Amino acid sequence: MTVPSTPGAEATCLAFVSGKGGVGKTFLVANMGRAIATSRKTILIDLDLQNQGLSGLLSSYLADDVVNAADDIIFATGAESDKTLIRIAGNLWFIPAFSPSAPRGSFANTLQVGDLAMKLRERVEYLRTKYGAEVVILDCHGGLDNISFGAFIYSDVTFVVTEVDKVTFNGTLELMDFYFESAVAQSEQSREAGQPCQKSAGEHTSIQSIARQFEENKLYFLVNRVRYRLDSKILRKTLEDELFKNFGHLRKMLCGLAFLPSDTLAARSFSDYPFYLELLPESILSQKIFQICREVPGGNFQLRQPSMLSLYNVFERKSDKFLDRYIGSPDEDRSNRVFSYTAWSHILLFVFIGALLFVTSHNTVAAKAVSADFNPESNPLTAVATFFLGILFFYFAMFDRQVSSFYRDQMRYEVRLFRRTRRYADPLFAVNFLRLFFLRIITMLWAIMFYISAITYVGVSVVFIGMAVFK
């Protein structure tokens, strides 16, 4: 099956790179490709000849005798191929790293960067002409290799996928350093070969002139799997300052920076179904992906909503301003809310019981009624109810103990982080620590009280039930 051609369509080439593997690059490639394909003919190309992550993700769609990146793009001889593309869905098409019917030979990263960039340009233009591709997305190797640099040189926009942690972000800085050094080396090779350089007459090739050529490439940073609620402006400024401090020329190259939340269901869908967008298009992660696609390459991209989601625009759709500002994880927010609900509901329960005891202690009639109805000695059914109430209290005690340990670990983390980073004890840290300490004490006390109540109720009920049975 071939893609119907659209003569004159201009292709937009997007490359996805990362300083290391495991940052969610292939997940974003697949889902952004699926989003763009809702209105444009899109081809995904797996250029990661070492890991073939995208080929593995879309393995259920593979077929024999298809166009593949190794034979028909990277090592192509220039001859036109009669092979077909793999159709995934609608306007979305795919080129795997290797042909499924051919053995995967060892890949040596010895290809010249200039040759790779020219070859990518030639083959992508061929795909545009033959198949009418409007957008071509290149999934490159997660790390330092010449193919990813060639894709960076050729593509219109390069998406750099990273994470907030220092290890991954340091890998991103290494990737930028590798690209810059490769650009310098490529320019030096061109100068030694006698090829013209972009410089004024009599001027020698310098780092500054190379940087000016390097700045023509556009970079869009995707900070993936953000978990904790942070201030968007502060985090954005911190990352930009770190990037610009190491590479000043990135000021001109940076065309966007987005924060994508960590999502448990998205991680689970990676092994179950390749397109998370189709499963939960209303999630914040999906909405952020669509927002990025509206910026690059531009257009209106949206999956058709099922009838059951007819109220999506009213209750779940977020504005672009909210998506830009939101940095965190819905999973993390829900988890924190559950723990907070547990702690504060126990506090309110404590107040309620205290008020009830106060009322009964000052009302003789109410006190007598309560003591008569809930006396296990005079009423065997009350003994049974007391037994199950003790079991319920035991469950509450175990739950409170787990919640208390959560706040304990949070306190340990904050205190030890404070000691090791030697940061100043600002008011925000003090308020957060006092909040954790208070909730830790409350939940721990409730666990102790529930344990004592559970042992007492179960013990008393067992005694009176036994007395009633053997009476």
Report yes or no: 136 and 29 within 8 Å, Cβ to Cβ. no
**Of 179 and 207, the one with more pLDDT:** 179
Band (pLDDT 50/70/90 cuts) for residue 368 is: low
Closest CA to 58 of 144, 123, 139, 122: 139
Tell which of 294, 313, 328 closes a domain. 328
User: Do 337 and 308 share a structural domain?
Assistant: no
pLDDT over 70 for what percent of the chain?
76
Q: Which range, of 11-15, 133-137, 303-307, averages the lowest pLDDT?
A: 303-307
Which residue pairs, CB below 8 angstroms and at least 24 apart, start in 268-273? 270/27, 270/57
Tokens of 240: 């930009």
6 part of a folded domain: no
320 lies in the same domain as 400: no
Domain span at residue 342 reads 332-469
CATH number of the domain within which 145 lies: 3.40.50.300
Does residue 274 sit in the same domain as residue 397?
no
Positive or negative CA dihedral for 109, 110, 113, 117? negative
Look at residue 107 in the predicted model and tell me its pLDDT.
56
Q: How far apart (Å, rounded) are the C-alpha atoms in residues 300 and 351?
A: 54
Q: pTM for this structure?
A: 0.76
Residues 350 and 412 in one domain: yes
DSSP one-letter string for 255-283: EEEEEEE--HHHHHHHHH-S-HHHH-TTS
Shared domain check, 418 and 306:
no
Q: Which tokens in the block code for residue 6?
A: 């659209």
Contact call for residues 141 and 49 (beta carbons, < 8 A): yes
Which of 274, 302, 328 is a domain's end point? 328
* Contact (Cβ atoms closer than 8 angstroms) between residue 408 and residue 375: no
Examine the domain organization and report whether 324 and 371 are in the same domain. no
Structure-block tokens of residue 407: 């706040």
Rounded Cα–Cα distance for residues 440 and 453 (Å) = 20
pLDDT bucket at 94, cuts 50 / 70 / 90: very high
Q: CB-based contacts of 293: which residues, under 8 Å, 6+ apart?
A: 32, 35, 36, 299, 301
The neighbouring-strand residues paired with 66 are 84
Same domain, yes or no: 92 and 204: yes
Range in 20-24, 134-138, 369-373, 428-432 with the lowest mean pLDDT: 369-373
Q: Does some domain include residue 355?
A: yes
C-alpha–C-alpha distance, residues 387 and 458, integer Å: 5
Domain count, the chain: 2
- DSSP result, 229-254: ---HHHHHHHHHHHHHHH-TTHHHHE
Indicate whether 278 belongs to any domain: yes
Is it the case that residue 1 has pLDDT exceeding 50?
no
Residues 99 and 239 grouped into a single domain: yes
pLDDT at 37: 94
How many angstroms separate the CA atoms of 366 and 105, rounded?
Answer: 85
Q: Is residue 7 part of a domain?
A: no
My answer on whether 314 and 337 are in the same domain is no
Residue 354 clears pLDDT 50, i.e. is over it: yes
The answer to whether residue 209 is domain-embedded is yes
Do 324 and 339 sit in the same domain of this protein?
Answer: no
In a domain, 426, yes or no: yes
Domain match, 187 and 318 both? yes
- pLDDT at res. 12: 87
Give the end of a domain, one of 293, 328, 363. Answer: 328
**Residues 326/284, Cβ–Cβ less than 8 Å:** yes
Per-residue confidence (pLDDT) for residue 4, from 0 to 100: 42
Higher pLDDT residue, 140 or 120? 140
**Contact criterion met (CB below 8 Å) for 142 and 22:** yes
Gap between the Cα atoms of 259 and 470, Å rounded? 69
The two three-digit tokens of residue 442, written as one number: 């409350």
Q: Do residues 159 and 235 both lie within one domain? A: yes
Whether 21 maps to a domain, the answer reads: yes
